[in-house]
Structure 1
Amino acid sequence: MTSTQAPAPPRQQTVWWRRPWIVPLMLVVAAFLAFSVPPYLTFDPAHSRLKPPEGNDFYYPLLVAHVLFGTVAMATACFQVWPAFRARHRAGHRVTGRIYVYAGALPAGVLGLYIGWYTSAGPSVLVANLVGSTLWLVVTLIGLRMALQRRYDEHRRWMSRSFALAMSIALSRVINIPAVIVLTPQVDTAFGGSEELMRNTATSIGVWLSPLLLLLLTDWLLERRKPRARRPVAARQPLPVSP
């Protein structure tokens, strides 16, 4: 007579409202895009938040394209990290994933290299932009490769890092505010009276610190949620039988 093992109970899916960070994340992204994108929809360089370099006719059109591709990346990334959407709408997850990669992260990252190279905010911001865009491209391509190889656990980890880098632009704007507040009293001392140098320094703090913080947070969360390997149970040794 053989014993049969009872089937495991079906895994219950967590409803969306039990993920308290989903709605705030989407609201933050929507607010950031509503504030940042409209000036570039006019296609008027006078409304640009970044100063175009003189004599460079390619900068502003490529900046607008970078902003639009980045908008696609940030909007679709929210659905990529939404566990309920990923679990219940796998076809939708694949579609939004392709849009995120091919119409968002990759073109925005490539254009970010060009925009970053011609920044007017100084060499520190230039290097930070180049490093950030390169990292975004690399981790996104690795995540895409993991998906094509059906290594989905690794795919999720790398795309989580790609998501963190996509959102770093929003966090950098937040960090700029306290950075300017702290550095403003030092304009006449540390910055020799140059308010522009002070603002460039505050911008540098934001573009360096935001991706670092988000990548550290992402990897901490990934390690925290990683299933721990069970320790092997030692086989019980039979008790000695006394003669």
Structure 2
Amino acid sequence: MTTTEKPASTGEARRSTAWWRRPWVFPLGLLVTVFLVYSLPPYLGLDPAESRIPAPAGVGWYYPVLVTHIGFATIAMVTCSLQIWPWLRRKHPVVHRRTGRVYVFAGAIPASIAGFAIAVAAPFGPVGAVSNVLLATLWFGCTVQGYRMARARRFGDHRRWMIRSFVLCMSIISNRIWGVLWAIVFAPQLDTTFGGSELAMGQAIAGVTTWTGWVIPFLIAQWWLERGRRRTPAAA
């Protein structure tokens, strides 16, 4: 690379990371804030009766592990939002690295482990349980692999793995959207498909929602990553 190319490349990088060229930054922060403001209050008092997810009968450890999962997942959502903010990553790389470590060790890893445990015992049927177990496993794996790539200074691979981790982390939000959609779709079938059983319909909604909530965003992210890789093979 010549000395005349470097300033142009630097200027191009700066223009490409200008805040106004990243219109998703503010909406993402707002969406995460609204979601947490709505979702956290029932668990702040540590009262099982306020939980939106009923604990399975005879599983005394379920609620404490659920609260643990929610606490670490909250840290993960906040720090992950900061991690993909281009301005912070470019202007304050030290903050980016430190919040990244918080995301990995005080957010995604403990949240995914706790999520795995509650997925096994969740009262939403086997279909939803399999989906959530797989989600927790992939979230853990993608996060650890992303951290390993950063330690190895393979930043292109680090970025790709952390994008996957980000999508899995934020799938809880898309999960809520899909839940509303499937409730609308299945509600008219209560007396036919489900024989009047609200429990059966609820488990069907939960099962389909858990799969579509993370699989579809994950596939879209993977398509986007592969598309970008084919178009700019040197970026890695």
Distance 1:119 1:5, change over 3 A: closer
Is 2:90 aligned against 1:92?
no
Distance 1:185 1:92, change over 3 A: same
CA contact (8 A) 1:112 1:129 kept: yes
1:219 shift after superposition: 1.9
Is 2:212 aligned against 1:209?
yes
- TM-superposition CA deviations, 1:87-122 (whole Å, max 9, x none): 111001101100000000000000011100111110
Distance 1:156 1:187, change over 3 A: same
Matched with 1:157 is 160
Partners of 2:175 and 2:133 in 1: how far apart?
A: 15
1:11 shift after superposition: 2.2
- TM-superposition CA deviations, 1:59-90 (whole Å, max 9, x none): 11111110000000011111111122111110
Matched with 1:124 is 127
Partners of 2:19 and 2:107 in 1: how far apart?
A: 25
Distance 1:228 1:33, change over 3 A: same
Match of 1:228 among 220, 225, 232: 232
- TM-superposition CA deviations, 1:176-198 (whole Å, max 9, x none): 10100110000001001011211
User: Matched residue of 1:11: which SS?
Assistant: helix
Matched with 1:6 is 4
CA contact (8 A) 1:171 1:206 kept: no
Matched with 2:138 is 135
Partners of 1:108 and 1:5 in 2: how far apart?
A: 47
Distance 1:142 1:229, change over 3 A: closer
Partners of 2:213 and 2:51 in 1: how far apart?
A: 22
Matched with 1:39 is 42
Matched with 2:22 is 19
Matched with 1:168 is 171
Match of 1:56 among 55, 59, 66: 59
1:149 shift after superposition: 0.8
Partners of 1:200 and 1:81 in 2: how far apart?
A: 35
Q: Provide the identity percentage.
A: 44
Distance 1:229 1:222, change over 3 A: closer
Q: Which runs of 4+ in 1 moved over 6 A?
A: none
Matched with 1:218 is 221
Amino acid at match of 2:50: H
**In angstroms, what is the RMSD of aligned CA positions?**
1.5
**Unpaired runs of at least 5, structure 1:** 231-243
Partners of 2:176 and 2:133 in 1: how far apart?
A: 18
CA contact (8 A) 1:140 1:159 kept: yes
Distance 1:133 1:6, change over 3 A: closer
Amino acid at match of 1:101: V
Partners of 1:161 and 1:228 in 2: how far apart?
A: 19
Normalised to the residue count of structure 1, the TM-score between the two structures is 0.89
Matched with 2:109 is 106
Normalised to the residue count of structure 2, the TM-score between the two structures is 0.91
1:7 shift after superposition: 4.5
Matched with 2:186 is 183
Matched with 1:235 is none
Distance 1:229 1:124, change over 3 A: closer
1:57 shift after superposition: 2.0
